[in-house]
Amino acid sequence: MSQVAVCPTCGNNSKIKEVNGEVTFLPIQDEELIKKIGQLKNAMEKFKSKAEALEKELEAFKSNK
């Protein structure tokens, strides 16, 4: 997933791309930004469910001692 930030020059949402140590900002459309936000939400939900499962497993190990 590409990084998204506010362009310091124009103030619009942009993709950040680094080539040979030089950072460039590529403008993105609102639809593309909404898609990126959706991808981020899905990734966070997966992480949250994995963390909750690991917490339950840890509690099970603690209770068995």
The 10s digit of each residue's pLDDT in 32-43 is: 778 888 899 999
Residue in the structure block whose two tokens are 């997933």: 1
Q: Are 16 and 23 in contact (CB under 8 A)?
A: yes
Task: Tell me the whole-structure pTM to 2 decimals.
Answer: 0.50
The pLDDT confidence band at residue 57, using thresholds 50, 70 and 90, is very high
- Tell me the residue ranges of DSSP E strands in 9-65: 13-19, 22-27
d(CA 54, CA 18): 35
